[in-house]
Structure 1
Amino acid sequence: MAVDEDWVRWLKNLSFATQRVDMEDGRRLDFTIMINRKRFIITVLPNLSPDDPIAPLISRYAKSFMDNDEELDKAQDEIEDIIYDAGWRKFAPLAPGVERGPSTPPISLYSALNPETFYFRLVFDGANADVVQEYPSRPLFGPDYIALNVTGDLPRYSARDITVTNKLMGTGHIAKVSADGQDMCCKVLVPNQVKAVRREYACLKKIADSQHGDSISAPRLIGFVVEGGDHEEAGIGILEEYIPHVMTLGRLLKNTNTNTEIVTPERRRKWAEQIRRNIALLHGIGVVWGDGKPENVLVHSGTDDCYLVDFGGSWTDGWVDAELRETEAGDEQALTRILDFLDIENAEKDYLGASEFRSVNQGEVGIVWLG
Structure 2
Amino acid sequence: MTNLDSAFLLVMKSARRGCIFVYQNSIYQNHVLGASSQTPGKDFPKDGSVAFIKLMRLEDSQSLRDELEVYKMLAEAQLGNTMRAPRLLGLVRDESGWVFGLLLTYIHCKSVTLSHAVKPGTSSSLRQKWAAQLRSIIYQLHKAGLVWEDAKPEDFLIDMNQDAWIVDFGGGYTEGWVPKLAGTMEGDQHALEKMVGFTGI
User: 1:310 Cα deviation (Å)?
Assistant: 0.5
Equivalent position of 1:308 in the other structure: 166
Equivalent position of 1:102 in the other structure: none
Amino acid at match of 1:330: G
The RMSD of aligned alpha carbons is 2.3
Instruction: Give the counterpart of 1:318 among 163, 167, 176.
Output: 176
Contact 1:176–1:242 under 8 Å retained in 2: no
User: 1:265 Cα deviation (Å)?
Assistant: 0.5
Which gives a bigger RCO, structure 1 or 2 (Cα 8 Å, sep 6+)?
A: 2
User: 1:244 Cα deviation (Å)?
Assistant: 1.2
Amino acid at match of 1:329: E
CA distance in 2, matches of 1:288, 1:299: 21
Equivalent position of 1:234 in the other structure: 98
Equivalent position of 2:120 in the other structure: 258
Q: Secondary structure at the match of 1:324?
A: coil
Amino acid at match of 1:252: A
Equivalent position of 1:208 in the other structure: 75
Gaps of 5+ in 2: 14-18, 21-28
Amino acid at match of 2:176: G
Equivalent position of 1:339 in the other structure: 196
Equivalent position of 1:156 in the other structure: 10
Q: Secondary structure at the match of 1:151?
A: helix
Contact 2:35–2:55 under 8 Å retained in 1: no
CA distance in 2, matches of 1:266, 1:286: 31
Q: Secondary structure at the match of 1:152?
A: helix
CA distance in 2, matches of 1:248, 1:164: 25
1:272 aligned to 2:136? no
Given the two structures, how large is their TM-score scaled by the length of structure 2?
A: 0.82
Q: Which has the higher strand share?
A: 1
Gaps of 5+ in 1: 1-147, 345-371
CA distance in 2, matches of 1:176, 1:293: 22
Contact 1:219–1:242 under 8 Å retained in 2: yes
CA distance in 1, matches of 2:31, 2:116: 24
1:217 aligned to 2:74? no
Equivalent position of 1:71 in the other structure: none
Q: For each residue in 1:332-352, what CA deviation from the matched residue of structure 2 results, as whole angstroms up to 9, or x when unmatched?
A: 0110100110111xxxxxxxx
CA distance in 2, matches of 1:153, 1:274: 29
Contact 1:290–1:314 under 8 Å retained in 2: yes
Q: For each residue in 1:160-205, what CA deviation from the matched residue of structure 2 results, as whole angstroms up to 9, or x when unmatched?
A: 214146x9xx924341231524432223341221111221121122
Give matches, 1:1-371, under 5 Å: 151-158=5-12, 160-161=19-20, 162-164=29-31, 171-173=35-37, 174-181=39-46, 182-228=49-95, 231=96, 233-246=97-110, 247-253=112-118, 257-259=119-121, 263-301=122-160, 303-321=161-179, 323-344=180-201
4+ residue runs of structure 1 moved beyond 3 angstroms?
none
Q: Secondary structure at the match of 2:98?
A: strand
Contact 2:109–2:158 under 8 Å retained in 1: yes
